[in-house]
Structure 1
């Protein structure tokens, strides 16, 4: 059999699998919502893989670095790849529907929330427990402690999102009541809260403000798009409101950049005093407003496009592996970078991200990271399913390992 025959056979199998997935999809399934979620999910690993580099210290250990330190003009790339606004929008939409359905079945709020938390918590517990078990093994094998701490920081970095998302999910009933009373304007106080905190910490009184003040933006900052999603689900936000979000968000975004001199990058840049993302600044909400408005306006068109089985099947696979992608994508990159660091500098993988050659090489590494993630995901996806066969002792051990990893990764030990 020639390579061409093999390729054709593979394509036929893929097409048949896509047709099967399409046929099994319920007619009432909102394909646009799943498509938006998949798009936002893929932006997470793509952003981390593109904007996360490594330098090699004199002791042969990996240290985090970012191409944005040398190429500030690439900051607009982060505007595209930072799609948490869309993710929280879709999360609010889906959670509102799920909560309404559970209540109609007679389930309690507590029962509904326990199910949601379990779905989020199992993969997080799995990845942190596995890493906790791997660290002493890797150290014994000769991997420098600094490399292990760098890797642990990267692994735990995206997991903050799960904690914030869990808290916001628990507030879904509150968001629903706010949507009923205020409509889409229920998101306005959240925007106003972040604006006030930004004014206090960046205004004339900024030097006198306590450092913890910025933490007040964490909940309203990320809840803004979630509330919009709840309003969208409740049909309190339509195309006219979406157009207002898109236009108003764009104007606010431009004003914050050009007049109030907010940092252009949506992610943290080493050496920069101010950051937009941790915690979210008003610029993050302006971008989320643009993204949410565009998503709502494009919903029908996206739904029609995803009627094609070849496009719909990848969306299904990505959504079924959502938490696996979130939890393990940094591990995929480290799986390539850590062994490479033992050999020295490797273009686009280990070495200062300060040249166009590095950018070109890193782009070439992206498919490798993706393949490694698929391989890891085939095994790790089991953590997303209920741990029905795990004994109480196994669950307790996983919890202890996860706690130990968190302490190590956060530099507390």
Structure 2
């Protein structure tokens, strides 16, 4: 239950004209990524250490998980919207402020894991295990680097039509996949692929585009998977061609469908959050510490996985090969414990995400009238 006093402070501290649905969509996107990672990442204990496996390799019926929880396009959509609305001159001052907020929590993560890595090595953990753990912890940082780059392009994004980066993705995929083009083209798609939803948010964030994006993106994605040879999974599967590394045309069209759904839901979501102060408080808190949740969710999963392995031995849904429906059922049971561990990480590290002048306890402790509703945009 959300504390009544907190609800009152957040509600009174939120600016009257704040677009609450943008904050709500961002919270949904972040939580989708977290739950998706927790559901499709398995740490398998073997004789020579711990390795990563995915249930998507063994359970084709789980592909739907990647459709529901791969929500990165929505995050870039609302990121573009927030960046365009918040853009101020001088450009360098505005950009420096946003990048400080984005990367301050990263410094804390890297420092903490530098100490933890040394501890693992001193405790005798094998190189394979340490490599696996660090890969899981650090791999989400690619997203922040891309988001920072697109944020720097905000002045361009407010004038660029998303059809142009979409055409770049089409051309790169045609060269890369159809004509065995150079590997360096991967980097072009990483920028162009996510620039599509970012520019949509910056220039075309309106309900009237919703149905066209939803229907057109869905039809294009089905066609690309059915006849274009693209994987059905919208997340990477070990040992298989990935739609995400870099984003393929199928991932981009899937993202367009998600963006269309988000635009259609924007109005109803905003009305819901205005009618329900408790729901808005939950959204505001998630947004206030969105980067903490994003950066530490893998650590939370690893903490539960490692401690249970040391104390109880290999357990279903945590340390076993994710090859049966029973593994998925067991993994669902572990999710509340992952969430509890994430809450512990939040308690330890959330202050790194607060602006320096707002680092005191309490959501509305500073004099800023919008402090209570501030989000990590």
The verdict on a shared fold, with TM-score over 0.5 as the criterion, is yes
Q: Is the 8 A contact 2:157 2:199 kept in 1?
A: yes
How big is the shift at 1:310?
2.0
How big is the shift at 1:386?
4.7
Equivalent residue runs for 1:346-365 within 5 Å: 346-365=315-334
- Rounded to whole Å, the distance in 1 between the matches of 2:8 and 2:250 is 42
Secondary structure in 1 matching 2:239: coil
The equivalent residue for 2:105 is: 123
The equivalent residue for 2:203 is: 231
The equivalent residue for 2:186 is: 214
- Rounded to whole Å, the distance in 2 between the matches of 1:155 and 1:25 is 34
- Rounded to whole Å, the distance in 2 between the matches of 1:114 and 1:320 is 19
Q: Is the 8 A contact 1:62 1:341 kept in 2?
A: no
- The runs of at least 4 aligned residues of structure 1 exceeding 6 Å deviation read none
Which of residues 281, 286, 290 is equivalent to 2:253?
286
The equivalent residue for 1:92 is: 80
- Rounded to whole Å, the distance in 2 between the matches of 1:30 and 1:292 is 17
Q: Is the 8 A contact 2:159 2:203 kept in 1?
A: no
Query: 1:293-334, CA deviations, whole angstroms, 9 ceiling, x for partnerless residues?
Result: 111111110011112022111101100011101110000001
How big is the shift at 1:14?
2.6
Query: 1:264-296, CA deviations, whole angstroms, 9 ceiling, x for partnerless residues?
Result: 111111121x11001000111111111111111
Which of residues 242, 258, 283 is equivalent to 1:315?
283
Which stretch of structure 1 is more off in the superposition, 31-40 or 254-263?
A: 254-263
Secondary structure in 1 matching 2:143: helix
The equivalent residue for 2:12 is: 23
Q: Is the 8 A contact 1:340 1:350 kept in 2?
A: no
How big is the shift at 1:28?
1.1
- Rounded to whole Å, the distance in 2 between the matches of 1:241 and 1:385 is 35
TM-score (norm 1): 0.83
Based on CA coordinates, which of the two structures has the bigger radius of gyration? 1
Secondary structure in 2 matching 1:54: strand
Q: Is the 8 A contact 1:221 1:281 kept in 2?
A: yes
Secondary structure in 1 matching 2:44: strand
The equivalent residue for 1:193 is: 168
Q: Is the 8 A contact 1:96 1:172 kept in 2?
A: yes
Which of residues 206, 209, 221 is equivalent to 1:241?
209
Query: 1:72-96, CA deviations, whole angstroms, 9 ceiling, x for partnerless residues?
Result: 2211210110111110000000000
How big is the shift at 1:212?
2.2
Q: Is the 8 A contact 2:10 2:281 kept in 1?
A: yes
The equivalent residue for 1:156 is: 138
How big is the shift at 1:40?
0.3
RMSD: 1.5
Q: Is the 8 A contact 2:207 2:266 kept in 1?
A: no
The equivalent residue for 2:230 is: 262
How many residues align? The count is: 355
- Rounded to whole Å, the distance in 2 between the matches of 1:306 and 1:385 is 23
- Unpaired runs of at least 5, structure 2: 358-377
